[in-house]
Amino acid sequence: MHERQDDTADEATHDPRHPEPVLRGRRRTEEQERAFNEQLERERAHAEGSAELEEVWRERDMMRQRNSRLCRKYGLKGRRERKGMGPLE
């Protein structure tokens, strides 16, 4: 049997709907991953300075503090002790 070799796997083709060439094969995945990572970085940078994120962190810290106090009050193991790491002293 003859195996067909796909020489067009990394060739760029023109799609009139997109200003940049559409890449086929493995390169498309790399290009998509790069674009996705850039988008995530932009979203992360935008979210870092937001008041909403600060509020979420404050709420998380309050819940952790409350949990810690309740564990001490009722003689329960702390987070580190439950995970087998032992207390830090």
Q: 3-state class of 74 per DSSP?
A: coil
Element (H, E) at 85: none
pLDDT tens, 29-87?
Answer: 888 999 999 999 998 888 777 888 889 999 999 999 999 999 999 999 888 888 876 55
13 forms beta bridges with 22
Task: Tell me the pTM.
Answer: 0.42
Domain residue spans of the chain? 23-82
Find how far residue 14's CA is from the centre of its chain: 32
Query: Given phi > 0 = left and psi -120 to 50 = alpha, else beta, which region is 24?
Result: beta
Contact 56, 47 (CB under 8 A): no
